[in-house]
Structure formats: C-alpha cells, structure tokens
Structure 1
C-alpha cells in the first residue's frame, strides 16, 4: 500500500523546466548523463532488463535506453508528475525498449514488477540522499528480491566515505538537505 500523497518522496531539490507536452528538463541530468552513461556501458550487460528507481524527469531513461538498445528499461517513480514527464520523454524519443513508467514505493514489500521476472540491474540516480533512510533500506531489500543472480545495484549520487565528505560542496549540500528535511542527507558508504 502506498503512503498518502503528502508523505510521498519529493520530486527533486532543483528547479525543473516543464514544457507543454509535460516533459521536464533537469539541470543535473544535463551535467551528469554522459559520465553516468560511460559507467553504465562498462558495467551493464549488452542485453537484459534494467529497473530504474526514482526516474525523475525520464531524461536519463531515454538517454541510457537510446544508447544501449539491447536493454529493456523500466523506469519508475512515486511521483505523478515525474511519471507524466517520463511518459512524454518516451513518446518524444520514440524508443521501443523503454517501458511505461511504474509507480513504485521502495518502502513497500511488493513493487508491482515482481511478475515481470528478475532484472539484470537496478539503477537509482540521485535518490538516496533526498529520501529517508528507510527508502535506502527498501531499495536494498527490493534489489535482493528482484535482481537475477549476479545482477547489479547501481547507485549514483553524493556519498561520504568513512564519515567524511568527499568535497566541501557535498558537506554544504548535506547541511542544506538536512535543513529541508532531517531524514534526508548524504549517506556514508563503506569501501573495502
């Protein structure tokens, strides 16, 4: 069961331009698509199924699916406006390997995509830090249920290492996020 609308996750922490066909444009997507795509091309299989958690505007979905036509891309977002934008981007791009966006609440035990089978990868871009920690835990649990053996969970965003921010700008961003919502923030990730 989904949480009430007012308790759902935010769309973004940035201003987005919206045009008449409901496509949204994200400034961060314009900056990060190419470097993320370079990594995805290296780590993802050439064929298979990818679930994107928190697809936002849908720009990443069409960019990545267009560049990797052997993958079927399943975008998802809990926000109605984000899904409308993603649907418009899919229509605009004319891609056949991007499925209609799904309404997934990562804190739910069932995501509504279980019947489609397992995924080769789950990708989540800039979601972990603008969501409560429970959303991270839900994402990890969902990955455990939905990834094929050897499948990848790919996360992109700012992270701390061993309790330290990797850049002064990330420390300032973390403070701004926590001021906006104390349950948000740049998460610590351990490298071994």
Structure 2
C-alpha cells in the first residue's frame, strides 16, 4: 500500500518522493549483494516508480516488475517507465493482502517502506504471497523502520510511529521478531539484516 505523504505535490501523473531519491543509492548497494544476477524481481508497493527506474538501469540482467494497489501510483510508475530501460516491466495492480496475485513466480520480492504503512493483515499477505511465488533459496527483501527487541527505538522513529498510528490506527512500526516468526511459519527464514541510514533497516528472508 503506497501513501502519498512520502511524495512531493504534483499535478502530473509522474510523481517524485524525496525519500526515494535519498535512499535509492544505499538500498541499491545492498540489493547488489542480495539480488540474483538474473531473473524476475517483483517489487510490491512501488509508489512513485523511481526505485524501479533506478534499479532496472543498475541491474540490466534482471526484469524489474513494479506493482502497486493505488491507481495514482500505477500512473506514476508508467510515466517514469517511459524514460526507462527495456527491462523495466509495465506496472501490475497487486493488493498484497489478496491471495490473488497476477504473477505465478519470481526470483526475488522487494518491498520498500511498505510494512509500516499498511495493516498487519497486509504484512501477513505479503508473507503469504512471497511464500507462494518464491522458489527455495529466493529472497524476500524489505526496507524500512522496525522495532527490534533489546535495541532502543530512537526518538525519531518513536515519533514516526505515533504519527503513523494517528493517520491510521492499523499502521505503525512492526516488531521484527514478530514478523520473523510469522515468516518462519510460512517457510521464510530471516537470513540477514543491515543497518541503513536514517534509522532504517534492510531485512532479507529466504524461502526454504
């Protein structure tokens, strides 16, 4: 589920998110280690589409498949795609909470700033869908702020969590241990985590 408070105001279909422009490089550096060199990469909650544009160009051996549930996001993705490389797919409409994804298999699934801006049921739907379409050894890669046990949550993330819950009580920062337990029940095991700028974390879960 995309949320436009990450985006700059725009009267055009093509939108831009300052956060995406800031984090595209650091995320890409980790993806360079974690993504397979070839295959189809499904991005959930692609938002403006700027990440997909950048990563399709950075990783020419893969097919980057963007998706979103928001019609405005899908229009923005398509607008950016017009200037993109040929390995950037046309955006798909995917509701992560639904069991009906219009894609049968992927070599990796990526979701940036999604889990905390959606209901818990959508986060579980993401896990269900990834478990369905990933083969053993394939990764589910997530980026965003998390709550970790035995790690103090920085004040800025505490404020962000309160702001999210004020916008929608179903939203909020998730406990990584809780999420990992739900993932394990679906055959997705926590394999790696990386500390990222601005108090974010990248998480890799691997299908077993």
- Which TM-score applies when normalising by structure 2? 0.82
Residue in 2 that maps onto 1:144:
131
- Are the counterparts in 2 of residues 165 and 171 from structure 1 also a CA contact under 8 Å? no
CA distance in 1, matches of 2:142, 2:122: 13
User: What stretches of structure 1 move > 3 A for 4+ residues in a row?
Assistant: 163-166
Q: Secondary structure at the match of 1:24?
A: coil
Aligned-partner Cα distance in 2 for 1:86–1:138 = 22
Give 1:30's match in structure 2, choosing from 21, 45, 67: 21
Sort the Cα spacing of 1:181 and 1:43 in 2 relative to 1 into closer, same or farther, 3 A: same
Contact 2:115/2:123 (<8 A) preserved: yes
CA distance in 2, matches of 1:136, 1:111: 14
RMSD: 1.6
- For residue 12 of structure 1, the aligned residue among 4, 7, 18 is 4
The question of 1:48 aligning with 2:58 is answered no
CA distance in 1, matches of 2:165, 2:50: 27
Contact 1:54 1:124 in 2 (8 A): yes
Question: Judging changes above 3 Å, is the alpha-carbon distance between structure 1 residues 129 and 15 closer, same or farther for their aligned structure 2 residues?
Answer: same
Aligned mates of 1:107, 1:133 — CA distance in 2: 9
The residue aligned with 1:161 is 148
Q: Is the 8 A contact 1:124 1:154 kept in 2?
A: yes
TM superposition shift of 1:10: 4.7
**In the aligned structure 1, how far is the partner of 2:145 from the partner of 2:164?**
12
User: For structure 1, which runs of at least 5 residues remain unmatched after alignment?
Assistant: 1-8
CA distance in structure 2 between the partners assigned to 1:82 and 1:43 by the alignment: 26
Supply the distance in 2 between the matched residues of 1:72 and 1:154 (Cα, whole angstroms). 16
Task: State the alpha-carbon separation in 2 of the partners of residues 10 and 83 from structure 1.
Answer: 10
- For structure 2, the residue ranges without an aligned partner over 5 or more in a row are 181-189, 191-208
Where 1:97 maps in the other structure, the secondary structure is coil
